[in-house]
Chain A
Amino acid sequence: MRVASLIGGGLVCLVVLVAVFASQIAPGDPAAMVARPMLPLFSPGHLFGTDQFGRDVLAGVVHGARISLLVGVAAALATLGLGTAVGLAAGFLGGFADAVAMRVTEAFQTVPTFLLALALCGVMGASLTTIVVAIAIASWPLSARLVRGEVLRLRTLEYVDAARMAGLRPLSIALTVVMPGALVPVAALFGVTVGEAILVESALSFLGLGDPNVFSWGAMVANGRTLMRTAPAVALLPGMAIAVTVLGISLLGDRFATRQRPS
């Protein structure tokens, strides 16, 4: 467990560093057609070679890290924010509001997350913002149900009763007394959600529904796919980047989730 989380932490650190220093590692626009097309791996000045339009693959991979992390973190925050708000309201208000909120989450959970995100992106048009919004809309129900469950458990505990008897208003009890406790499992969900969001963004870009103005890993794999027989590295390298990033995040997330579990 410890080793796994160390490896996960290392991978995540590596990806974050690459994203932060992308412009130092590979200056300029990764979409620029800078060299002769189809240079092989380890060409001088183009370590990962170039694709069929002469775009530097290394530049695409390091700048892609920014896009993936940006989308992953933004989508996870949006997902968990939406889920927490709904879950907190449902758990605290109870009754009719709770029933409605839970039926809505069930309705959403019957549709596979990716298909829903795909449909939303198709309707709203392709940009990073719509991808983040689509992922959040498609995946908030899990965290909403989790938070609601925690709220239902916590509100029966003595310290909440104590707060109520101390004369705190219901809203303050919800936000200052119950919510901190309910957020613990949500925090454990954060890593998983980031990883899933990165995968969804990659898949959307692979299908051509990504933002055409940014150079993302999914789009690079889609572009390189036609070259699989002649220059496999063009598709494999960004594909490996996706795999490494998601693996790192989920190893680290698992560790975090186990630590949060009450022993």
Chain B
Amino acid sequence: MTFALSRRTLLASTAAVALPSWLRVPAAFAQTKGGTLVVAADTEPRSLNPAIVASNGVFYVASKVVEPLAEMDYQTGLRPLLARSWDASDDGLSFTIHLREGVTWHDGEPFTAADVAFSAMEVWKPLQNLGRVVFKDLETVDTPDDHTAILRFAVPTPGQLIENALPALTSVLPKHVYADGDIAENPANLEPIGTGPFKFAEHKPGEFYRLVRNEDYWEEGKPYLDEIVYRVLPDASAKSAAIETGEIDLTAFSAVPLTDLARLEATDGVTVIPGGYEGITYDLTVEINHRNPILANVDVRKAIAHAIDRNFIVDVIFLGYARAATGLVPASAEAFYTDDVTLYDFDPAAAEALLDEAGYPRGSDGTRFSVSLRPAPWFNESRAAGDYVKQALQRVGIAVELVSADPGGHIKAVYTDHDFDLAIGTPVWRNDPAISTTVLYQGGLPPGVPFANQYGYDSAEMNELIAAGASEVDPAARVAIYADMQRLAADELPLLPLVEFTFTTVARERVQNVANNPRWATSGWADVWLDA
């Protein structure tokens, strides 16, 4: 099976890259124009519409075609893309966006405020996985002229939140393409039309996606590349070999085995780049089902926190490419992060003492009680963490039975059926606590909302903090509310944050301008170029 696949993908790549690299004409100047960048794709998302499915798998391909209003930036925080500037009203009821002029869609139509209004009202708010939360109080979008859009909210909505949501949540769709018919069934979801630096060219299922340069891109002189080809290479070892031989130029999202990184770093012409993912930091967590009366006891949860060695997970499972977490806001999110919270050191003796006091002494076989543990199956590291947590808990007398399932089965079991005691989860931080972090603590969500509080945890105090943060328009006051939330979360431990991790990119050295913004792999790549 593996052989057939690699041969097929090899053929695909030779078809896409017409000439071997040594035959290409070398260019003489810095920031050379031209060339084909071949990158590895892990998955083939069913939809390539980032305005509906705001996920990294979709952005990886589609963010080069469909642009958001602004992108994250290391120096300025946010870099304007389709928006030139924006300002929030003091009462939090409106958010004015001034749009770039002279931008055209890939099919030649002009880009106007009507497209933004359409995307916001018809797509981000009702259809988008993240937008449903952030834009829930969006009432209408006024377009006084072709290049101004004013978002109007029914209740005060923090301008800080909307600003932080610009990179991931505001991919703009062309109204003239989507206005008629069912948005979810539009053919442009598979062959996207945007304003981005690259146009969608073709997708051969199981083989590759191909994007080509947008000659009419609004930023003068960009993009530099002629083409981007995403070769579908699901196997981690195959990706590792392909980058070594130069068959591909780049793999993102730590797609090669971590154990290969040292060897690849030492390979001529290959470089390992750790940054460029701060805006999409993941957390590895132990999710806890509070419907289990034993786990509903906060002292038991604290004992579990003391029983797990976060440094072991960082050093052995992530080989150092992670850091111990103090909460679900990552340390790289300087605006919101606080480490002034209760910390739980690795201390098995303290764990055992807490469990004894909680009324769960070791039985005659050394076991206090048994729990099931479902590790999220999508990362090697989340599965490995399941193996480790089992060992760590057994050491303090908690028997653990691992339960494995495919991704769909795992999501259903944990987030719909609540059929678990413990799970290893991987929630993602998206630049503001109110986008995808507070939902992990908020009580009263209906079953079936994935990556959210399906844990049976419902604290009035926590719910109040979350509601306050969602409507506080003063940025400093809002930061203070979320600091309180982090403290409360550390005291009550509704779920255990273990480590925070981002990814690494492995690239051939000739690829330039890699990892130059905090969402690099999911940004537009207009400034990426190939050194001949």
Contact = CB atoms under 8 A, between A and B. Distances in A.
A116 interface: no
Given A226-B236, A227-B259, A230-B263, A212 B404 contact: yes
A110 interface: no
Contacts of A209: 404
B388 interface: yes
A212 B259 CA distance: 22
Nearest to B257: A226
A170 interface: no
A52 interface: yes
B257 A212 contact: no
B466 to A, nearest CB: 35
B260 A31 contact: no
Given A53-B317, A212-B402, A33 B263 contact: no
Nearest to B395: A32
Interface in A203-239: 208-209, 212-213, 225-230
Contacts of A52: 259, 316
A29 B317 CA distance: 20
Nearest to B241: A229
Contacts of B375: 212
A135 B236 CA distance: 29
B386 A212 contact: yes
Contact of B404 (A32, A37, A208): A208
B406 A122 contact: yes
Contact of B377 (A31, A54, A208): A208
Identify whether the interface residues of A are mostly helix, strand, loop, or mixed: loop
A229 B391 contact: no
Interface in A60-99: none
Contacts of A152: none
Nearest to B373: A212
A125 B412 CA distance: 13
A126 interface: yes
B405 A125 contact: yes
A126 B404 contact: yes
Interface residues of A, number: 21
Most buried by A among B259, B260, B403, B409: B259
Interface residues of B, number: 27
A31 B259 contact: no
Interface string B374-403: 010100100110111011001000000111
Given A53-B384, A53-B387, A230-B259, A212 B403 contact: yes
Nearest to A223: B384
A213 B402 contact: yes
Nearest to B386: A212
Contacts of B402: 212-213
Given A53-B317, A228-B237, A31 B406 contact: no
A229 B260 contact: yes
Contacts of A125: 403, 405, 409
Interface string B249-265: 00000000101100100
B327 to A, nearest CB: 26
A54 B391 CA distance: 12
A33 B401 contact: no
Interface string B227-244: 000000000110010000
A209 B383 CA distance: 13
A122 to B, nearest CB: 7
A143 B375 CA distance: 39
23 contacts: A31-B390, A33-B316, A33-B388, A33-B391, A52-B316, A53-B316, A53-B317, A53-B384, A53-B387, A126-B403, A126-B404, A212-B375, A212-B386, A212-B402, A212-B404, A213-B401, A226-B236, A226-B257, A226-B260, A226-B380, A229-B237, A229-B260, A230-B259
Given A31-B391, A227-B257, 17 more contacts: A33-B391, A52-B316, A53-B387, A54-B316, A125-B403, A126-B404, A212-B387, A213-B401, A225-B237, A226-B237, A226-B259, A226-B260, A227-B259, A229-B240, A230-B259, A230-B260, A230-B263
